[in-house]
Amino acid sequence: NAGVIQTPRHKVTGKGQEATLWCEPISGHSAVFWYRQTIVQGLEFLTYFRNQAPIDDSGMPKERFSAQMPNQSHSTLKIQSTQPQDSAVYLCASSLDWGGAETLYFGSGTRLTVL
């Protein structure tokens, strides 16, 4: 079991460019989460999927952020027109299920730097 896999580990973009982050959840896990970590805000919830369906995206900045889960083996987080304030570590996590009752397993994260 390789755990939750996130690629790339590091990404540097120029202001205004697009960034796509990839996540492969643990096989068999039906719930996938995206979080963002910054020094100022700490760990912030962005969105989550259950059985590939988007359930709650209340943490997503509405205008430039989007997340998809086209199949059970991967999810993407896309940021359009990146801004310096988007710089953060983006974490993906998965769990067997989610009813508030399942252990969450995190990937190593993607460190996004927007110049």
Partner 1 sequence: GDQVEQSPSALSLHEGTGSALRCNFTTTMRAVQWFRKNSRGSLINLFYLASGTKENGRLKSAFDSKERYSTLHIRDAQLEDSGTYFCAGSGSFNKLTFGAGTRLAVCP
- For the bound state, the minimum distance from the C-beta of residue 81 to partner 1, rounded and expressed in Å, comes to 26
- For the bound state, the minimum distance from the C-beta of residue 26 to partner 1, rounded and expressed in Å, comes to 12
Binding range to partner 1, per CB under 8 A, among 22-30, 68-76, 77-85, 90-98: 90-98
- For the bound state, the minimum distance from the C-beta of residue 15 to partner 1, rounded and expressed in Å, comes to 25
- For the bound state, the minimum distance from the C-beta of residue 19 to partner 1, rounded and expressed in Å, comes to 19
Phi, psi of 22 (to 5 degrees): -115, 145
Binding range to partner 1, per CB under 8 A, among 10-18, 54-62, 64-72, 77-85: 54-62
Q: Can you tell me whether residue 85 is helix, strand or coil?
A: helix
> Is residue 33 a contact residue for partner 1 (CB under 8 A)?
yes
Query: In residues, how long is the chain?
Result: 115
How many angstroms separate the CA atoms of 111 and 89, rounded?
A: 4
Nearest to 75 by CA among 111, 112, 114, 110: 110
Nearest to 84 by CA among 43, 113, 45: 113
Binding range to partner 1, per CB under 8 A, among 11-19, 21-29, 74-82, 98-106: 98-106
> Is residue 96 a contact residue for partner 1 (CB under 8 A)?
no
Nearest to 27 by CA among 67, 72, 69: 72
Amino acid identity of residue 100, one-letter, is G
> Is residue 22 a contact residue for partner 1 (CB under 8 A)?
no
